[in-house]
């Protein structure tokens, strides 16, 4: 694998068996790559295999065939080169925000002082230094999700993998968190792969969007959605590129080819 690749998914297929023993082909021959420092979204309609694909990259599911490499290493299970964020952070209720972030580091056998320092850095990175000693029930939904992101970042992973990270949040908090994620990306340069069923979110945040279509889940197209420079979310939302890319992505998600619009082709 070339040195500037963070994630390399090659020919991944996944067959599940349902309760009655019938085969369900969730993914068929899926390949895509993510370069270091990129933000890539996986999107598509319900049941197209987004979560299954991300769980395979996380190491929580094994592919029936095909391979996944992260940071040059073949994925055979969960590993410390991947930070994982789910829709709900699932924090330990008896631990503080900082304690929850430290928890993620305990399995790594770091001395306590190093753990504390790494957790403090991560909490600061997500803008929660002022709430580091609060317990989960004293935090808002957005703050809890920030703790989840800090926990994933504290291990200094090669890649941050996020499954619908903001979809359980109210609209305003969600917008704040989207902006926050771009700031974290700017500060850390981390490679980020996230699953979202939300077209706008995918276009706004990602440099490229991998679209999947169902039955069986497969890649239908990869759309370049990078906005040049450090544009704010508001600037992005109001831009002509946003409208065009949103339109193109909708076509891909619905299994169509991109039609040229205003003389611009995909
Ligand atoms: N553990 C499982 N056992 C059997 N079938 C499964 C299992 N997990 C997923 N599937 C099936 O695989 C297909 C893809 O599911 P997956 O959850 O990956 O899709 P998705 O795109 O993430 O959907 P959604 O947007 O609704 O969450 C679906 O047909 C689903 O029913």
Averaged pLDDT, 188-211: 96
Q: How far is the CA of 37 from the centre of ligand 1 (A)?
A: 28
Please state, in angstroms and rounded to a whole number, the distance separating the CA atoms of residues 153 and 190.
Answer: 9
Q: Does residue 157 line the site of ligand 1, with CB under 6 A? A: no
* 216 close to ligand 1 (CB < 6 Angstrom): no
**Ligand 1 in reach of 50 Cβ (< 6 A):** yes
- Cα 17 to ligand 1 centroid, rounded to whole Å: 11
Q: Kindly indicate the confidence band of residue 260, based on its pLDDT and cuts at 50, 70 and 90.
A: low
CA-CA distance, 61 to 151, in Å (whole number)?
A: 21
Place of tokens 């981390």: 190
User: If you average pLDDT over every residue of the chain, what do you get?
Assistant: 92
- Cα–Cα separations (whole angstroms), residue 140 to 12, 156, 172, 189, 262: 38, 25, 13, 27, 44
Per-residue DSSP letter, 61 = S
How far apart are alpha carbons 134 and 244 in whole angstroms? 43
pTM over 0.95: no
Rounded Cα–Cα distance for residues 46 and 177 (Å): 23
Atom in ligand 1 nearest the alpha carbon of residue 61: 1
| Digit-coded pLDDT (tens) for 228-250 | 777 889 999 999 999 999 999 99
Q: Are 43 and 196 in contact (CB under 8 A)?
A: yes
111 vs 114: CA distance, rounded Å: 5
ipTM of the complex: 0.97
User: Is 196 close to ligand 1, i.e. is its CB under 6 Å away?
Assistant: no
Q: From the alpha carbon of 44, which atom of ligand 1 is closest?
A: 21
| For ligand 1, mutation pick of 50, 163, 193 (most atoms within 8 Å of CB) | 50
Q: Look at the block and give the residue holding tokens 């609060």.
A: 134
Q: What is the dihedral of CA 46, 52, 55, 57, to 10 degrees?
A: -110
Q: What is the pLDDT of residues 19-50, one digit of tens each?
A: 999 999 999 999 999 999 999 999 999 999 99
Identify the residue whose C-alpha is closest to ligand 1 atom 5: 16
| pLDDT of residue 266 exceeding 70 | no
Give all domains of the chain, ordered by start, each with its CATH number: 1-75+190-221 (3.40.50.300)
Q: What pLDDT was estimated at residue 265?
A: 43
With a CB cutoff of 8 Å and minimum separation 6, the contacts of 220 are: 44, 211, 212, 213, 252, 253, 255
Degrees, nearest 5: CA angle 108-157-90: 75
Q: State the distance from the centre of ligand 1 to the C-alpha of 211, rounded, in angstroms.
A: 15
Residue 213: what pLDDT? 95
Contacts of 31 (CB under 8 A, 6+ apart): 9, 10, 11, 12, 66, 219
């Amino acid at each position: 694998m070339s040195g500037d690749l963070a994630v390399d998914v090659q020919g991944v297929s996944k067959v599940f068996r349902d309760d009655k023993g019938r085969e369900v082909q969730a993914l068929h021959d899926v390949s895509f790559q993510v370069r270091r420092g990129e933000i890539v979204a996986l999107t598509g309609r319900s049941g197209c295999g987004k979560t299954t694909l991300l769980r395979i990259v996380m190491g929580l599911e094994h592919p029936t065939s095909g391979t996944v490499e992260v940071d040059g290493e073949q994925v055979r299970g969960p590993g410390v080169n991947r930070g994982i964020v789910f829709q709900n952070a699932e924090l330990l209720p008896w631990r503080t925000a900082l304690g929850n972030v430290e928890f993620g580091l305990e399995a790594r056998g770091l001395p306590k002082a190093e753990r504390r320092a790494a957790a403090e850095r991560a909490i600061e990175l997500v803008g929660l230094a002022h709430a580091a000693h609060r317990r989960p029930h004293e935090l808002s939904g957005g703050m809890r999700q920030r703790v989840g992101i800090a926990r994933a970042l504290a291990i200094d992973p090669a890649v941050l993998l996020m499954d619908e990270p903001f979809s359980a949040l109210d609209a305003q908090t969600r917008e704040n968190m989207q902006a926050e994620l771009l700031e974290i990306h700017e500060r850390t340069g981390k490679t980020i792969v996230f699953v979202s069923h939300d077209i706008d979110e995918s276009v706004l945040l990602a440099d490229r969007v991998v679209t999947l279509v169902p039955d069986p889940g497969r890649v239908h197209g990869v759309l370049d959605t990078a906005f040049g420079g450090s544009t704010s979310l508001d600037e992005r939302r109001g831009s002509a590129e946003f409208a065009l890319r949103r339109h193109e992505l909708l076509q891909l998600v619905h299994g169509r080819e991109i039609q040229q619009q205003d003389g611009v082709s995909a």
